[in-house]
Amino acid sequence: MEIWRKLCELDNVAIALRDLDAGSEVLIDGERIVLIDNIRFGHKFAIKPIKSGEKVIKYCEVIGVATRDIHQGEHVHIHNLRSLRAVKVND
Amino acid sequence: MELKGFWTADNTVGIRNRVGVISLSVFSNVATQRISNAVEGTIALIHPHGRAEIGVNRERLHHNLIGHALNPNLQSVLLVGYEAKTTERYTQELRARTKKRIESVTVLELGTIDAVRVGTKLALELSSESSEVTREPMDFADLTVGVKCGSSDATSGIASNPAVGVAVDKIVNHGGKAIFSETTEVLGAEHILAKRAINQVVASKIVTAVKNNENLALSLGVDLMGVNPVPDNIEGGISTIEEKSLGAIRKTGTSKIQDVLQLGQLPKSPGLYFLDYPSAAQEVLTALASTGCQVILFSTGLGNPSGTPVCPVIKVTGNERTMKRIPEHIDVDVSEIITLNRTYEEAGDKIFQYLIKVINGKLTKSELLKHNEFSPVPVGL
């Protein structure tokens, strides 16, 4: 069984297909990535460094923008990623 | 692959033959429930509305009540109204629009006790008549299937939604109709759906529906963050509305989109349609049943239990843990897409075969557990 899946070639995140522990290693696109956080089943981690303000890509589509620098192997979720849609202007 | 259903007086075909006992107002709910409890073969549609709604809420309530009465899964209908004027208005409108038998009883005229007595006699007559109807051959061309996802997690976008999408393609390829909805959950993915529109007019309707929805949120001074995705989505790993939408639209398959429907409009020809409607699961199930769907495919990572009083709802999960934890909410398990790397085609075929069984009479988990929720006035986005 796969333990992670990158859904589309342009993605900068992958999905854990089981609970993965911080410190474990995954090999993605020939690159060895060490997970910085525990990544729960179904959650995302960065497979490339993502700068604050940079778009986060899944399914080869924009799912939002990084609200701070995200390291490779770090959990990507509501603490460092936010929507670009239906967001109040002064937000 | 023979399909059999119950033909109605309207020359439509139901996959169930129930008698609907429909409450027109919060004050007729008690009578409605008692009448339905008393008579086998009937189903109660109760809700807390029907008094002093205005504008879009009033229209949606009207379309949902009428749409349910017209649904082919109901052979006939007993309306249980509160006051005479509204009861008469619904009775006359329905009698003009359907050849199915429409009866009514009014609580304020008779009092609850006598309304139950009179209504029970009428329901007994209707149910006795409908029990004579037997299953006869039908075709996919007679079928409208709703498509929905709810209590989604990350497995929804990568397993159950794409598998449901394969089943939806099969339904359309067999000459059936399919309808998806949830405008808020197209937000961030409308450019992909617009490319699948049959023409530029429909493409522009899709984009406009989503834009109007987004503007409505903004005009109310609210931010979708913290509202949608909902807490169970976030727990399951979905971070933003775009991510949720991009996963959600995979349940629609690959067919061309024939048109954008508003509540009260029915799809006229075979193919896939988008119903522009708010996104909360129960409200969408209600709206799909009002739009002529006889059955609904429902993809759920976390195991949503919801049903409707008139449409069987088939739950599909791609989450192995959900299947182990609450199998009583799930009809089709496609978690092998993740655990054994099975293809979407295999999983989609499994859903399609199950759909045929349900059309021919197999009860879904939502039916077995009597999840008969009816929610005709959405208040959220």
Residue-wise pLDDT for B281-324, tens only, equals 999 999 999 999 999 999 999 999 999 999 999 999 999 999 99
CATH of A4-82, one of 1.10.10.10, 3.90.930.12, 2.30.130.110, 2.40.10.220: 2.30.130.110
Q: Is B120 in the same domain as B256?
A: no
- Closest residue on chain B to A45 (Cα): B237
What number of other Cβ atoms are within 10 A of residue B321's Cβ?
16
Mean pLDDT of B319-335: 97
Tokens for B8, please give them: 């109605």
Residue B108 belongs to a domain: yes
Phi then psi for residue A18, to 5 deg, are -155, 170
User: pLDDT for B37-57, tens place per residue?
Assistant: 999 999 999 999 999 888 999
Structural domain including B29 reads 3-136
Strand bridging mode B18-23 / B74-81: parallel
Q: Residue B52: what pLDDT?
A: 86
| Residue B307 to chain A, least CA–CA distance (Å) | 26
Place of tokens 């609200």: A67
Last residue of a domain, one of B136, B161, B185: B136
The last residue of one of the domains, among B136, B162, B184, is B136
Same domain, B130 and B199: no
Tell me whether residues B218 and A88 touch, CB distance under 8 A: yes
When pLDDT is averaged across residues B350-378 and rounded to a whole number, the result is: 97
CA distances to A67, B180, B236, B242, B370 from B367, in Å: 45, 21, 26, 32, 5
The answer to whether residues B318 and B243 belong to one domain is: yes
- pLDDT confidence of A1, banded at 50, 70, 90? low
- Tokens in use for B246? 């991009």
A82 → closest Cβ in B234, B240, B340: B240
Q: Is residue B379 part of a domain?
A: no
Reading across the β-sheet that carries B177-180, which strands appear in turn?
B257-261, B271-275, B177-180, B144-149, B295-299, B313-317, B332-333
- Which among B183, B186, B213, B225 is the top mutation candidate for probing chain A, defined by the most A β-carbons within 10 Å of its own β-carbon? B225
B272 touches chain A (CB under 8 A): no
Q: Do B182 and B130 share a structural domain? A: no
Percent of chain A with pLDDT over 90: 87
Asked if residues A31 and A16 have their Cβ atoms less than 8 Å apart, the reply is: no
Question: The tokens 């670009």 sit on which residue?
Answer: A84
Domain ranges in chain A are 4-82
Instruction: pLDDT band for B225, please (50, 70, 90 cuts).
Output: low
Stretch B60-86: mean pLDDT: 98
Closest CA relative to residue B104, chosen from B120, B91, B114 = B91
With H, G, I as helix, E, B as strand and everything else as coil, classify residue B335: coil
In a domain, B358, yes or no: yes
Residues B145 and B241 in one domain: yes
Per-residue pLDDT, averaged over B25-30, amounts to 98
Looking at B89, B104, B136, which one is the last position of a domain?
Answer: B136
ipTM of the complex: 0.95
Is B207 within the bounds of a domain?
yes
CATH code assigned at B100: 3.40.50
Tell me, letter by letter, the H, E, C secondary structure of B78-123: EEEECCHHHHHHHHHHHHHHCCCEEEEEEHHHHHHHHHHHHHHHHH
Q: What is the mean pLDDT of residues B341-356?
A: 97
Chain A partners within 8 Å of B241 (Cβ)? 83, 85-86
**Average pLDDT in the B223-231 region?**
76
- Angle of the B29-38 helix axis to the B107-130 helix axis, nearest 10: 30
Average pLDDT over residues B244-248: 94
Indicate if B214 and B188 belong to the same structural domain: yes
Name residue B129's amino acid. Answer: E
pLDDT at site A89 = 54
Of the candidates B233, B230, B293, B287, the one whose C-alpha atom is nearest the C-alpha of residue B264 is: B287
What is the predicted pLDDT for the residue at A91? 43
Write the CB contacts of A81 (distance below 8 Å, at least 6 apart in sequence): A56, A63, A64, A65, A66, A67, A70, B239, B240
Say how many domains are in chain B. 2
Burial A47-66 (b: 16+ CB within 10 A, else e): bbebeeeeebbbbebbbbbb
* A85, A89, A90: best to mutate for the B interface, most B CBs within 10 A: A85
Q: How many Å apart are CA B279 and CA B241, to the nearest integer?
A: 12
A64–B242 CB contact, under 8 Å? yes
- Contact yes or no for A5 and B247 at CB 8 A: no
What distance in Å separates the CA atoms of residue B17 and residue B240, rounded to the nearest whole number? 41
**B219 confidence band (pLDDT: 50, 70, 90):** confident
- Please report whether residue B9 resides in a domain: yes
> B377 in a domain, yes or no?
no
* pLDDT confidence band for B79 (50 / 70 / 90): very high
Residue B45, token pair as written in the block: 């549609």
AA identity, residue B242 = E
Q: Which residues pair with A44 in a beta bridge?
A: A15, A76
Q: Within a domain: residue B375? A: no
Residue whose token pair is 């359907």: B98
- If asked whether residues B251 and B355 sit together in one domain, one would say yes
Please give the DSSP secondary-structure letter assigned to residue B255: P
Predicted local distance difference test score (pLDDT) of residue A55: 97
pLDDT confidence tier of residue A88, bands split at 50, 70 and 90: low
pLDDT category, A63, cuts 50, 70, 90?
very high
- Round to whole Å and give the CA distance between B345 and B166: 6
